[in-house]
Structure 1
Amino acid sequence: MPELLFPFDDVERYPESTKEPASQRLDWKNWLEAQKQFEALTNEGGRIGKGNELLVNEKDVFDMTALQLDEYMDWYEKSWLDVRTSHPLAEMFPAGRTGIEVEPQPISATENQSALEQKLDKVMGALKPRKALSEEEIEGREDDILRPGELYQRYRSESDLPETARAFYEAASKIVGLSLHRLVRTVFETERRLDQWLDDKRRMEYHGEYPETDAGTSVFGVGEDDEEMSELEYLDDRDFSAPEDDDGS
């Protein structure tokens, strides 16, 4: 996930080398402004907007303009229909536009690319370097040095999302075709499973065998009836040393 390298919080984390992707600091407020400008450009003239086609339902059709209907049908044809056919009557029932077209036209691929490039230029131009600290440089220091991905904040529901995180998840949900609620939950459960995998891997390396899977574990590695998790959890900087034996040794 991008927020592992570019978290939404202001906690200072130091990469080991300037060659790491996390050696750059992303300004999420700047990204949010660029995202709003991008959406304004792609929605200009009453358009549905890039990525919003997946959110259209049967009730929306009754309130859509002629331009929006054309835009939606163009997207649907391009995304879902295979118009290749050798049937002799196919030409009598064309799938594409015919006759007089509605003005203004839906945003073209060139216009969309231009809007996307403007967004990227604004975001990439605001990247700032993050100080790197090697293992030798932090050796012997009393203060805790966090690495990228450590003390990583996780969001269980959309109500937990701060403004920039919500905008990011909303943009991602349009691309993958999931509701915001479903995307947040899926990411949360996937992170839980990865967390469990790391725990299991440590036990395997220490004991030399794979641990048994607990009964009642879901496909994401989380019990289906597990409602005891906090509303906001963190992937802490975990201790990867060998676990203690039962006698405390």
Structure 2
Amino acid sequence: MDGGDATPGQEAKVTEADVFNMSGDMLDRYLNWYHQTWSGERDSKATPVSERLRRVQSRLKVQKPISANDEQYVATINRPGAFYKRWQRDGDLSANERAFVAKTAENAGTTVNILIRTVYSLEQRLHDIASREGRPEVEH
């Protein structure tokens, strides 16, 4: 796109010197092309996923945070981990859980029983620490 050449499709070949020699119209066309090509802003329709996300997020409701000191509500709050299963022995596992734990034990280089006991022991220690620190209880 030589200083006087306005051939569409040649915008990528423009040099700094070419820009200084462009007329006002040519500069406008070049800047429009540059904006559409490189700005990251596309004039495209929303994808089904982004449209669905917009609809779902538009239905969200703001919730008032509940303090751990508000005893009226503390017992009714489902905290993270409240519904986690804690396995103590191999017999506590379903077939799918057993397959997962067996593969995990294999990857860790240990047995299923040792992995289950170790994880249970760690969970118990974390629960005890949280209890000592006065964090809300998580029932299992």
TM-score range, shorter chain: 0.3 to 0.5
TM-score by length of 2: 0.43
TM-score by length of 1: 0.25
The structure that is strand-richer by fraction is 1
Which of 1 and 2 has greater Rg?
A: 2
